[in-house]
Every structure is written in C-alpha cells, then in structure tokens.
Amino acid sequence: NDSLEAVPRSPTKPELEELVNALRASLLPPTTPQSAPMATMAMPASYTGDAAECGGFLLQVALFIEMQPQKFSTERTKVAFLISLLNGRALLWYILLRIYFNLRRFGRLGKPRADAEYT
C-alpha cells in the first residue's frame, strides 16, 4: 500500500550511548579549569615618614590591597590598613591631623569649613 508511512528504525546501541552522553553533558554545569593558587603577598613595610620612601610605600600598599579585594571592600578598610602601617613621624603626623580636625569639628579652633575632611 502506497499510503503507508515509513516506520522509523530503532537507534543502535552506539547511537543510544552517544545520545545519552550528549544529554548528560548538556545537563552538567560547565567545568572551569582550576586556577593556580595565588601567591601569598608580602605585607608592606611600615612607613616612618621618610619622603624618599613614600612612593614605594604607597605602591606596595596599593598592590597589596588590589590583590586582595575581598579583604578591602570599602574605602574605610583601605584607609585603616594604610594607617596601621604608619610608624614614627608618619603616625605622629596622622594623630596630630586627626586631633586638629576633631578640634575644628567641635568648634575649638574656629568655625569648621563645609568642605573639610574628617577621618
């Protein structure tokens, strides 16, 4: 009879295995290659206020922070880390600057400016 349609044949065992493997691969999440563990960053040396060492100190701090963004997610944590590395004259300068701005804030050194930075 000419009206009979062709009956599709059953897939062979290798064809079924290929289909099953393709289906498994499409359902599994893509694998990402394991990245090499990040080298441990050396802690930047403390800064004592020597002008000749300032540029190198700031570069080391910036690199340390950049390579560990999970530890330094806010500007406040970045500033606190930098301040924790100050010693000697540099730390004294920060302390005096902080006292100065606190005195200005509370009006003991005159009227505070609106654009003054307070930390």
Give per-residue pLDDT as tens, 22-73. 777 777 776 666 666 667 889 999 999 999 999 999 999 999 999 999 999 9
Structure tokens at 100: 């100065």
Q: How far apart are CA 3 and CA 6, in angstroms?
A: 10
Tell me the helices (H) and strands (E) count for the chain, helix number first: 4, 0
Q: Is 102 left (phi over 0), alpha (psi -120 to 50) or beta?
A: alpha
7-22 tens-digit pLDDT: 667 778 887 788 777 7
Q: Could you give the residue ranges of the DSSP H alpha helices within the chain? A: 13-27, 51-66, 75-84, 88-105
Rounded-to-integer distance, Cα 11 and Cα 22, Å? 15
Residues 75 and 115 sit within 8 Å (Cβ to Cβ): no
Q: pLDDT value at position 108? A: 65
118 has a pLDDT exceeding 60: no
Q: Measured between alpha carbons, how far is 103 from 97 in angstroms, rounded to an integer?
A: 10
**115 pLDDT higher than 90:** no
- The predicted pLDDT at position 71 comes to 93
Structure confidence at residue 87 as a pLDDT band (50, 70, 90): very high
pTM: predicted TM-score of the whole model, two decimal places: 0.57
